[in-house]
Structure 1
Amino acid sequence: MSQPLNDAALDQLFRTARSYNGYTDQPVSEDDCRAIWELAKMGPTSANQLPARLVWCTSDEAKAKLADCCSEANKPKVLKAPVTVIVGMDTDFHEHLPELFPHTDAKSWFDGNRELREASAFRNSSLQGAYLLMAARALGFDTGAMSGFDGGAVDKAFFADQPAVRTNFIMTIGHGDPASIFDRSPRPAFEKFNTVA
């Protein structure tokens, strides 16, 4: 039976964790990226779809190419972060379901229904991006998920050879510089946005 995490773990994952705009010079290695993925991939998606397609921008060349697709405010974040991950979504994810969900013919649920595939790819790749963020935090890294980019330009630059893949969002990963953040924005009480039915 699962037990609640202790306060230190909850702080690291949620309560004191922040979205960083800048990072220290401490590197993030390819082994670190792989460790984050190995944890994040365990998060559930509908019928184990796993539609996210990730590009880990670690080289100066990849960072510059991605920064060119970003808003002026986000360009320096991408250029200075040790890693920026592009979280893409594959609308042809169903082609992999015979391997990923072998219990039944799940591929047939999506054959010929692009609208359903797009909705499902967006929903489940967003989940995977959130798992990626939490996995990075769990392993001692800081993150900065963001919009503020030209999705079509990112797709052209990084997914041109995969026409079924489109960008969902991007996220920096590193060891956060406390000077790069401002005071936490408000988090409302339960009653403001919740209803118990």
Structure 2
Amino acid sequence: MSDQPPSTPLALDPGAQELLFRSAHTANTFTGEPVTDEQIRAVYDLVKYAPTAFNQSPLRVVLVRSAEARQRLLTHLSEGNRAKTAGAPLTALLVADHDFHHELPRLFPKMPQAKDVFFSERADRERSAAFNGALQIGYFIVGIRAAGLAAGPMSGFDAEGLNKEFFPEGDRRVLAVVNIGKPGPDAYRPRAPRLEYDEVVSSV
């Protein structure tokens, strides 16, 4: 386990801290053990409660399961990401839905007019979907770890190519591609440094 103080103000027990953060790494290889729909449903049913503005929840998760879809995906990845994606038991496209505002009257009922007051302009929806979708990606990765799985998030892809390939209608935009599974041999690179508290946190 990682070094940590003997006492901590965190409510999360040390084992959960290790699983979710201290010992968790981005995985680059995976075993062949399948990732089931039940596991992904359990992940989503946990992380759906994490906050977004107006509870707008713009993230959409597209599971790339078929061989045909996997091949279509690989052609739009950077060369360094293709082999590990081809070998992952599951890859997910994490996507911002620019039409999220249609669900707001149901998701944010105390202000049913929010979709018209704040999101009548497409540019506003796109900015909000990108920001809140990125928040949800972070929650989703932590949820994957909570399921005892490893995540391999990637930004090395041709975004325009993927959008045209999978979402030609133009209403969705890929934010990240994540490989998911049990870590395989030599899955993790050595832990890279992180900025320390005093380098990040200040008071005003």
The two structures have a TM-score, normalised by structure 1, of 0.93
1:160 is the counterpart of 2:168: yes
**CA RMSD, 1 decimal:** 1.4
**Is the 1:143–1:173 contact (alpha carbons within 8 Å) kept by the matching residues of 2?**
yes
Partner of 1:5: 12
Identify the residue that residue 59 of structure 2 maps to in structure 1: 52
Return the match for 1:39 from 43, 46, 51.
46
The 5 A counterparts of 1:11-160 are: 11-104=18-111, 105-160=113-168
Residue 183 of structure 2 corresponds to residue 176 of structure 1:
yes
CA distance in 2, matches of 1:172, 1:42: 23
The CA deviation string for residues 128-186 of structure 1, in whole angstroms up to 9 with x for no partner, is: 1111101111111110111000011111111124x211111111110112503211110
SS at match of 2:186: helix
Quote how far apart the aligned CAs of 1:111 are: 4.0
Once residues 73 and 11 of structure 1 are traced to their aligned partners in structure 2, the CA distance between those partners, rounded to angstroms, is 28
Deviates more, 1:29-38 or 1:137-146: 29-38
- How far the C-alpha of 1:37 sits from its partner, in A, is 1.5
Secondary structure (helix, strand or coil) at the match of 1:180 reads coil
Q: Is the 8 A contact 1:155 1:165 kept in 2?
A: yes
SS of structure 1 residue aligned to 2:28: coil
Structure 1 window deviating more from structure 2 (172-181 vs 183-192): it is: 172-181
Residue 74 of structure 1: SS of its match in structure 2?
helix
- Find the aligned partners of 1:177 and 1:69 in 2 and give their Cα distance: 24
Normalised by the size of structure 2, how large is the TM-score?
Answer: 0.90
Q: 1:17 to 1:178 in 2, by over 3 A?
A: farther
Structure 2: which 5+ residue stretches go unaligned? 1-9
Equivalent residue of 1:133, what SS? helix
> What CA distance in whole angstroms lies between the structure 1 residues aligned with 2:153 and 2:64?
14
Letter in structure 2 aligned against 1:122:
A
Question: What CA distance in whole angstroms lies between the structure 2 residues aligned with 1:109 and 1:90?
Answer: 19
* Cα distance in 1 for residues equivalent to 2:153 and 2:188: 13
Distance in 2, Cα, partners of 1:103 & 1:112: 18
Q: Which whole-Å CA distance do the structure 2 matches of 1:42 and 1:59 have between them?
A: 29
CA distance in structure 2 between the aligned counterparts of 1:111 and 1:38, rounded to whole angstroms: 26
Identity %: 37
Q: Structure 1: 5+ residue runs without aligned partners?
A: none
